[in-house]
Structure 1
Amino acid sequence: MPQTFRNDDSVLRARVQKVVEERRALGLEGLVGGLETVLVTVESERLESAAADFLNTTGYKFETALSYGPDRACVLTHPGSADFLFRTRTSGPKPFADEPLGPKSTHLPGTRVEAMVFLCRDLRRYVDIQKKRGVRFLSDDIIRSDSWLFIQTAPSAYSALSFGFVQWLGEPRRHVSNLSPKADWTLPKPDAPHLKNIGVFDHASVRVRAKDRDDAIVEFLELTGYEFSMAVYVDNLNSITNVARLANEPYAMVITSGLGEAAAGQEGPTEMFIKNYGRRIHHLAFRTERIEDTFAGLKAQGMEFLLELVGSKEEGLKQTFSRPSKETLIVNEYIHRYEGFDGFFTKSNVTLLTEATAKQ
């Protein structure tokens, strides 16, 4: 089938401008802040091994273990960065049960980056506004503990990603509560020098269908205070990498899609990823110092990569992709931005990284 449409930034930017105006008119501006927590759901028998794999490949450390009724969780932290909460879902509703998987993800049906959780300064007001807009949440009302207020959207029809919103009651980032008491287990942090070079969580990239690209971006902007920043087109790979950012916050949301409907066999790596794994987060990126030494150290400990380091000081940044984790299916990106680089990506690096995903 020939390509019947092509995504167009002029159309997207017109919609983005309307979102910004509507956020102000509705009183949403300033209600939602930066990323607080990344919720990663894993198979019940793999919680410890998935968290250990994350500790072994990032600069994060084990903070605490939690119980959610019969389910278990643990919080992994890094100074100045969003927390990661790994948890199981053996009881209660499973919000992603109906989301189609691919042949390379069916063996881990309960594993995915489930939700990005953002700070909210007045959750009651936020929920009231969003419900009037028609936003669907997983719970009828805000979940209240003695440490936090929390609510989570139903999975997006466009990105198959959920978004959470938390208001802390007292101490920020206190995950322990009467609804999530502390559990008595821990995991060690590997004492590897190269892991100390891996810093804060920089961005996540979700893969969406070409036809859902604009809707996925607009939806994210409607739910948060983020702004659309840039789009990098890689025509020969039928791919667009789109970036949304929030001023003075380290985390950016990346939404990657195809250019448009493509003929069979011409889908490109982005759409092939969706066929193989289903719609989901493809990679998590971490800022990395001494990236050459870190890359060598990760290789020495047995980590495999989709490509060598790409980029240079002259181009402004250097990056690489790991192979997907056997525990979570997630690719790790390690990225170093050189001093003075004022962009977010370069087209040359995006092209090489996109091309490398075909090796998955």
Structure 2
Amino acid sequence: MIEADIETQIGAIHGSAHKLVLEFAGAGSMALFWLHAVPGSSRTVLEATDRYAATSMADLLGAPPGQAVSEPTAAAMAAAAYRRARRLAEPGVACLGVGCTAALVTDRARRGEDRVWLAVRDEQSIATYGLVLARGQRDRLGEEAVVSRLLIHAIAEASGCAAPLALGLLPGEQVASARAPLPDPIGMLLAGAARTVGVAPGGALVADAAPPGALLSGSFNPLHAGHERLAQAAGAALGIPITFELPILNADKAPLSYAEIERRLAQFRWRYPVVLSRAALFVEKAGLYPGCVFVVGYDTAERLVEPRYYGGEAARDAALARIRAQGCRFLVAGRLEDGTFRTLRDIAVPPGARDLFAELPEAAFRVDLSSTAIRQAQAS
């Protein structure tokens, strides 16, 4: 039997049109039961995971947390849950990521307080809630009920439908809550509110970060050894590290979805830095990354100087002039085509643009792989 105030509040949550992913450790299972016990949970809950093993928590966060039951850990759990919700939900749906980490009454000796930290992440902000429970005043089920009520209250607040909900606090117990702006960089990029998003190997996201010195741009569907070895060879030739660039817009295809962006970024996690952008064309990239060296393959370089992609020679020359004005240039790697290894020397570069292009010698890099061939092999 669910108490009336809980049932009413969860009914409002189910009617709020928010989708959520819940990550919890140590407490929160009762809240999940309540959410499912009130009709309409399929409109709200996308996924819920109980992270009891330390290895499971490390898998979620990318590394073991410094302190399991803490505000930073709850916030990191909520951020990971929010990204997961954006992957699972339909485009345009309001999503919430919920993180709950707690240390409650146990059957083993444990130092420290009985406590909980919750966090709820949406597209624009993160809210955190902390509570220390009076030790020895409740059994395990009693503490779980308090935590779960607080969890339902936090979800309701984030859903914009919070109503008075008694938490069952004892004298001296007090919830510490805070809300801070925390825009979602990928969401901003998709909406056109950010021009680029830098993604660190550990997964940290920064909107409109400082431009890198050299970029290897591609769809990376999938990332393969050819891309990696090209980045290594180009970095050695230039004497600077190479950052991978993944444009979310393509002149010939539909924009990448949030889920597809996350899927492709997962290939780089803990390995390489990436920058996301809305720039499909190199003349646009030059405006975003002044002074940048663009590492490209033979086929891309060939298209760069082909007049028909611009509507004529005059438009092509103007675009290349804008790239030069931004201080950008190209490092061109060879590619096997129709049984012949093609290089920069096989491309009819306009005389006025030859200074923009330099060759990465075959001795420095040659990998006869293609993403298209790999996808075809995977499909078969």
More strand by share: 1
Using the size of structure 1 for normalisation, the TM-score is 0.24
More helix by share: 2
Which structure is larger by alpha-carbon Rg, 1 or 2? 2
Using the size of structure 2 for normalisation, the TM-score is 0.23
Greater RCO (Cα-Cα under 8 Å, separation 6 or more): 1
